[in-house]
């Protein structure tokens, strides 16, 4: 697995722990992995300051499943979404805690440059982090 941002890295590790293979933080070449799952992290959006020098907010993590067959992409994406929504949150990551995770629903994302089918969803992570 390639290095990623903290929250995306934790989500990628969670997917691997849940039995998913070929999880990356950057799209690999088709020759290296023909059917990857790629996670990418959005920016932290603060929703509240906390009394103990912390803050609570949201980090969106994109999860994109790539498969040779459309039905396989859909099935793998739905399985990944279900697994992450049912995962054992909270988990700690470098000075932060992913308190919970929800998703916006899986859907088709077209095809990639190699003609493989893409399905994806956004995992909406509630994150509590400590600042200065």
Total structural domains in the chain? 1
107-112 own/partner pairs: CB under 8 Å, 24+ apart:
108/70, 108/73, 108/74, 109/64, 112/27, 112/66
CATH no. for residue 122? Answer: 3.30.2000.10
Predicted confidence at residue 132, as pLDDT, reads: 63
Specify if 81 maps to a domain.
Answer: yes
Which pair of structure tokens corresponds to residue 47?
Answer: 């929703």
Sites in the chain below the pLDDT cut of 70: 1-4, 132
User: Which residue range(s) make up the domain with 34?
Assistant: 7-130
pTM score of the predicted model: 0.92
Indicate whether 1 belongs to any domain.
Answer: no
Residue 115 within any structural domain of the chain: yes
Residue 17 lies in a domain: yes
pLDDT recorded at residue 15: 97
Residue 83 located in a structural domain: yes
- Distances 115 to 37, 66, 121, 124 between C-alpha atoms, Å: 16, 10, 20, 28
């Amino acid at each position: 697995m390639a290095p990623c941002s903290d929250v995306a890295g934790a989500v990628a590790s969670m997917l691997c722990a849940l039995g998913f293979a070929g999880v990356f933080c950057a799209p690999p070449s088709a020759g290296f992995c023909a059917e990857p799952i790629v996670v990418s992290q959005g920016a932290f959006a603060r929703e509240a300051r906390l009394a103990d020098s912390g803050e609570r907010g949201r980090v969106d993590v994109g999860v994109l499943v790539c498969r040779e067959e459309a039905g396989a992409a859909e099935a793998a994406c739905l399985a990944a979404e279900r697994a992450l929504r049912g995962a054992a949150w909270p988990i700690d990551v470098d000075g932060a805690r992913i308190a919970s995770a929800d998703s916006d629903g899986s859907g088709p994302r077209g095809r990639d440059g190699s003609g493989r089918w893409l399905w994806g969803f956004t995992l909406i992570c509630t994150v509590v982090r400590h600042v200065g």
